[in-house]
Structure 1
Amino acid sequence: MQTTLVILGFIFTLFSFLPLITSPLWWIRILDFPRLHVALLLSIILAAYVAVYGVQSTSEIVMVVVWALAILNELRYIIHFTPVVKVEALRTEKANPTNAFTLMISNVRMVNQKYDKFLERVLEANPDMLIMNEPDQAWHDSVCKVLDERYPYAIKKPLDNTYGMLFWSRNKLHDSEIRYLVEDGIPSFYTVIELPSGDKVSLFTVHPQPPRLMLNTETREAELLLVAKEAKKAPYPAVVAGDLNDVAWSKTTKLFKEISGLIDPRVGRGFFNTYNAFVPFFRYPLDHVFYDPVFRLVSLRRLPKFGSDHFPIMITLSFEPQREHEQVHPRADKEDKQEANELIQEGLEKGEERNQEKQNSNSQ
């Protein structure tokens, strides 16, 4: 039993410190996700060891101290998404904000066929705008009749590779584009939304590749940081939303915020975990909304599941530019900008390599 606890303690300590390595290797970056789980499990191991065997020798003292440091290392990331920390995104003080909009984001899971259950969620929530990640043609054909009747504006790109994307809006859209920023077959959307007041918002929707077995994260980092730079230079206040396949506390997300200048409504409020809906203990915040400080938060909530491995998430924002200065404005320094440019270049090169491999495979 003692040996087992020591081995487990060593493994989880390694899990805590490995992500400090700046590398796109999938087996390192995947460890950005379970920081809370590693902290909890390592705390249990430490408590069990001390309670059963005590701490007597110098080696045991060193071991327990290292375990404690590993726990603190994990907590320093996730604590920002608890009420212990001051909120980053302020709530509106208006009882009934008139210049507001509601956005619902949902990764529907391509193989999920509970189309009617999804439509129930949409009709219950009644958002002004809806982003769907992972829809294929079957999803498009099953929901478009109902949604087209309720939403006069749309951007559509269903795909059978789990990277399809659909967007519906009650608000008028301008300058809409379907773009492939890094990899062929992985689209993102850009559009300008006209609010009822006539004010305009630049919206970017994204769904980059996640870290998984034998698939590193160069292209994910590149796509997110390219969008961050575009959001910073956008002609109108920006909103970036979608399944980012990254957790809210990762170094990449932090760099994304600094480069874009956008804020995260989760900070100081909670995790709002959206994945995995099937496994209660292993859940992470992967579906995000980041926005310009000209907006004030009206509400943020996770919606009930409907058959996908992701929960939908919905946010309502109020356009209040006159109070922009009261909110946090993330800023990038020279080192941040240099790091972002290097990651973008590395990701674009990897994306070109993957595009070439796909072309060669298709030609054979």
Structure 2
Amino acid sequence: MWSAYLILMGLLILLTLLPKIQNQHWIFRVPEFGKIQITYFIVITFFLGFFTQPSEGFWYYQGILLILFVHHGAILVKYTPLYRVKKHHQRNQSSQKLHFVSANVYQFNTEYNRFIRLIEKCKPEMFLTMESNSDWEKALRVLENDYPYSHKITLENTYGMHFYSKIQIKNAITHYFVADDIPSIEIHLETEDGFSFVFFGVHPPPPSPTEEQTSKERDGDLLSIAKRVKDIHKPVMVVGDFNNVAWSKSSILFRKTSLLIDPRIGRAFVSTFHAKYQLLRFPIDLMFHSEDIFIKKLTTLENFGSDHLPVYCEFFIDHHNEEQEERIEVANSEEKAEAEKMIQEGKMEDGERDAIVTEG
């Protein structure tokens, strides 16, 4: 038991230290995803220590575990209701409540009707699908009477993206910031009550042993979007499968560069992947928004057969409410230079992806 205790503690220290090393290889970036699980295991290991036959240095080791817990807890508490942020009430000059669903549908998931029923049940004004290919596009045609506006990027490489809306699309742009097979979408919309806003859909590639060896393309893509967002003088939200977590260095750099707000802060983790394994679920389907967009509800919805849970959001727009300005953090000159470097590295990275991906 003592040996198991020492092995667990050594592993937890390693998983804590690896992300501190500023290397974009997946070995250093993947442990960021499991910070919630790592924190749970720190607590379990701490209490496990009392059931061992302690040897010399026992309280020293327990002290290390307490330090690890405080380190992770200080970061994670910001993404819980324990971290107090000001609540905002909808006022007369704001827009009507709006809703969207964002879902990585998993390209090889054929349970189309479960997702269609989910949309029919929630009735969002707009929804975004990622990993949607030609089969998904055909299946979703039954919704086009209710969602007459759309922007479709049909790909078979697990990076297809489809956007459907009841709100009029004024302009739609497809961006390929770092690679010609990794799209992002920029949708300009205008509501019936006269509120214009911009919706970005993103899905950069993840750093992993089975996909991209580094996070360079992911980080370059996200920071390119951040720079683009900063130049748009309308309410903006960026939504999608970021293949990243909100507390990672690149996510924080994205937030500071774009001047957007993370609605998870003071709310919840909103973990989405993997849909089938609750104890091994990471919050990688993120969203960020500008100061004049106010989030009323942000949560996950039921599983429809994908490996990701869908995200549901209720929000409104208020141009005259400045109460969220204090939540915006601005990148300093050093951080801006780092963002530029990461963008260039992302563009130079040669991701080896097949144009058509088959299951297995």
TM-score normalized with structure 1 length: 0.91
How far does residue 316 in structure 1 lie from its aligned partner after superposition?
Answer: 1.7
Q: Which residue in the other structure is 1:7 paired with? A: 7
Whether 2:211 is the aligned partner of 1:212: answer no
Amino acid at match of 1:245: N
Distance 2:113 2:69 in 1: 44
Whether 2:114 is the aligned partner of 1:103: answer no
How far does residue 248 in structure 1 lie from its aligned partner after superposition?
Answer: 1.8
Q: What is the alpha-carbon root mean square deviation over aligned residues?
A: 2.0
How far does residue 135 in structure 1 lie from its aligned partner after superposition?
Answer: 0.6
Q: Which residue in the other structure is 2:85 paired with? A: 87
**Partner of residue 280 from structure 1, selected from 278, 281, 290:** 278
CA contact (8 A) 1:295 1:324 kept: no
**Partner of residue 193 from structure 2, selected from 178, 190, 197:** 197
CA contact (8 A) 2:157 2:354 kept: no
Distance 2:49 2:159 in 1: 46
**Residues 345-360 of structure 1: pairs in structure 2 closer than 5 A:** 345-350=344-349, 353-354=350-351
Q: Which residue in the other structure is 1:18 paired with? A: 18
Where 2:116 maps in the other structure, the secondary structure is helix
How far does residue 242 in structure 1 lie from its aligned partner after superposition?
Answer: 0.8
Where 1:149 maps in the other structure, the secondary structure is coil
Structure 2 residue ranges without an equivalent (≥5): 356-360
- After superposition, give the CA deviation of every residue in 1:170-208 in whole Å (9 maximum; x if it has no partner): 111123112211112111111211122223112211000
CA contact (8 A) 2:199 2:238 kept: yes
**Residues 61-76 of structure 1: pairs in structure 2 closer than 5 A:** 61-76=59-74
Structure 1 residues 298 and 67, CA, compared in 2 at 3 Å: closer, same or farther? closer
Q: Which residue in the other structure is 1:141 paired with? A: 138
TM-score normalized with structure 2 length: 0.92
CA contact (8 A) 1:107 1:312 kept: yes
CA contact (8 A) 1:16 1:73 kept: no
How far does residue 256 in structure 1 lie from its aligned partner after superposition?
Answer: 0.9
**Partner of residue 124 from structure 1, selected from 115, 121, 142:** 121
Whether 2:173 is the aligned partner of 1:174: answer no
**Partner of residue 296 from structure 1, selected from 277, 294, 297:** 294
How far does residue 325 in structure 1 lie from its aligned partner after superposition?
Answer: 4.0
How far does residue 97 in structure 1 lie from its aligned partner after superposition?
Answer: 5.8
CA contact (8 A) 2:94 2:318 kept: no
**Partner of residue 152 from structure 1, selected from 144, 148, 152:** 148
Amino acid at match of 1:107: N
Where 1:321 maps in the other structure, the secondary structure is coil
Which structure's residues are more often helix, by fraction? 1
Question: How many residue pairs align between the two structures?
Answer: 352
CA contact (8 A) 2:94 2:319 kept: no
Amino acid at match of 2:195: D
Distance 1:87 1:11 in 2: 34
Amino acid at match of 2:70: L
Moved more, 66-75 or 181-190: 66-75
Identity %: 29
